[in-house]
């Protein structure tokens, strides 16, 4: 059997509502001007989009809504229809419900049926996980055209009535760092206009013996009164480990493909915060590459992030251009990366 190439045909994205800037956040939560400046200076994220209306506290959309919108854009851009899709893979850490899995709800909305649909429970590497699983399944020849999705909606953790001044810092950062959004892409064994070739993709757990750097819990009816912390982030551990892991991913991708640093025209770095992305990009040291980052505008929207980067990259890459993407998940420490090349 000849192993088919896998082509990234298109990407689509979706964001809820208008950007919420730091001044609006500070004002809503009754925080000081200094707090606002602290975000600007030390986090470097200027705005984010939320699926919660801060004023009313009401949800404005679900993950399925955002995924369906992003997917419609990706299908349209690839020139394919729901009937062409024979595999769907979604990565998210915040599904709308545990059952049905959100991927199946999105498929229904799009009119996709009679195919395999998988949802990967994942933090920031979920988009690359979806890309990896879909790419491998396409390579078996059993599938021809896959829709991959990623997204996160923090609504159930984002309490517009929270008293941020009394919360531990590792919980406050969630209100600042993260935003909501979704993305989608079409992968196919057939190239299309403007498509790029997936040259390499990998996901690697490196969590042995290491404490989680990020935790997100969920509650059921039997433990709604639990005092377990709902979400925690070891920002120091993340700052210490993520840049080095990102460098290892880049080096591994380059070694695998026998590419040199100078060959990389587009760099899609991790997007935890504006500041962290700057640190990582400096460390990666690919001066020839155009950096594609959205984190200052969108916040870290988790599994959506790489699709925003891919969409921009697709619009800018010319023949022979090469792109490398890196995502690091600090939950239990997962490295992931991919490389694409325009024929």
95 sits near its own copies (criterion: CB under 8 A): yes
Tell me the C-alpha distance between 228 and 181, whole Å.
27
Q: Are 300 and 158 in contact (CB under 8 A)?
A: no
Task: Decide the pairing of beta strands 87-92 and 116-121.
Answer: parallel
Which one of 17, 19, 44, 160 is in contact with its own copies (CB under 8 A)? 160
Positions in 128-157 near its own copies (CB under 8 A): 129, 132-133, 136-137, 139-140, 142, 155-157
117 sits near its own copies (criterion: CB under 8 A): yes
Q: Give 248-273 as a DSSP string.
A: HHHHHHHHHHT--GGG--EEE---S-
Picking from 175, 173, 172, 129, the residue whose alpha carbon sits closest to that of residue 303 is 129
Find the part of the chain contacting its own copies (CB under 8 A) among 7-15, 197-205, 256-264, 308-316: 197-205
Which one of 34, 55, 114, 319 is in contact with its own copies (CB under 8 A)? 114
101 sits near its own copies (criterion: CB under 8 A): yes
Tell me the C-alpha distance between 264 and 281, whole Å.
13
185 sits near its own copies (criterion: CB under 8 A): no
Question: What torsion, rounded to 10 degrees, do the Cα atoms 65, 71, 77, 82 define?
Answer: -120
**Placement of tokens 């999705």 in the chain:** 149
Picking from 131, 80, 41, the residue whose alpha carbon sits closest to that of residue 323 is 131
CB of 107 to its own copies, least distance (A): 6
CB of 101 to its own copies, least distance (A): 5
Site string for its own copies, 220-239 (x = CB under 8 A): xxxxxx----xx--------
Which one of 70, 120, 272, 339 is in contact with its own copies (CB under 8 A)? 120
Tell me the C-alpha distance between 331 and 214, whole Å.
4
51 sits near its own copies (criterion: CB under 8 A): no
CB of 95 to its own copies, least distance (A): 6
């Amino acid at each position: 059997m000849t192993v088919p190439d896998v082509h990234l045909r298109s990407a689509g994205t979706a964001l809820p509502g208008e950007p919420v800037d730091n001044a609006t956040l500070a004002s809503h939560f009754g925080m000081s001007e200094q707090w606002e400046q602290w975000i600007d200076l030390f986090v470097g994220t200027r705005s984010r989009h939320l699926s919660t209306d801060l004023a009313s506290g009401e949800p404005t959309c679900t993950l399925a809504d955002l995924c369906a919108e992003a997917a419609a854009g990706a299908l349209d851009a690839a020139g394919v229809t729901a009937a062409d899709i024979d595999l769907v893979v979604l990565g998210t850490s915040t599904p709308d419900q545990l059952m049905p899995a959100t991927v199946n709800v999105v498929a229904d909305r799009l009119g996709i049926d009679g195919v395999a649909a998988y949802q990967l429970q994942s933090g920031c590497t979920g988009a690359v996980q979806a890309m990896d699983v879909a790419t491998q399944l396409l390579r078996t020849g059993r599938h021809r055209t896959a829709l991959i999705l990623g997204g996160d909606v923090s609504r159930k953790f984002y309490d517009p009535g929270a008293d941020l001044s009394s919360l531990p810092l590792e919980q406050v950062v969630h209100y600042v760092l993260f935003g909501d959004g979704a993305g989608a892409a079409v992968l196919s064994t057939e190239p299309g206009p403007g498509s790029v070739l997936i040259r390499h993709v990998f996901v690697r757990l490196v969590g042995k013996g290491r404490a989680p750097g990020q935790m997100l819990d969920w509650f059921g009816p039997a433990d709604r009164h639990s005092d377990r912390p709902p979400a925690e982030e070891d920002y120091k551990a993340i700052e210490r480990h993520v840049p080095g892991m990102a460098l290892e991913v880049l080096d591994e991708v380059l070694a695998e493909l026998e590419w040199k640093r100078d060959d990389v025209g587009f760099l899609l770095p991790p997007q935890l915060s504006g500041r962290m992305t700057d640190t990582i990009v400096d460390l990666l040291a690919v001066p020839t590459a155009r950096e594609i980052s959205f984190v200052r505008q969108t916040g870290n929207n988790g599994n959506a992030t790489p699709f925003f980067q891919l969409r921009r990259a697709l619009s800018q890459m010319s023949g022979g251009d090469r792109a490398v993407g890196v995502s690091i998940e600090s939950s239990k420490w997962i490295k992931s990366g991919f490389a694409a090349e325009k024929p």
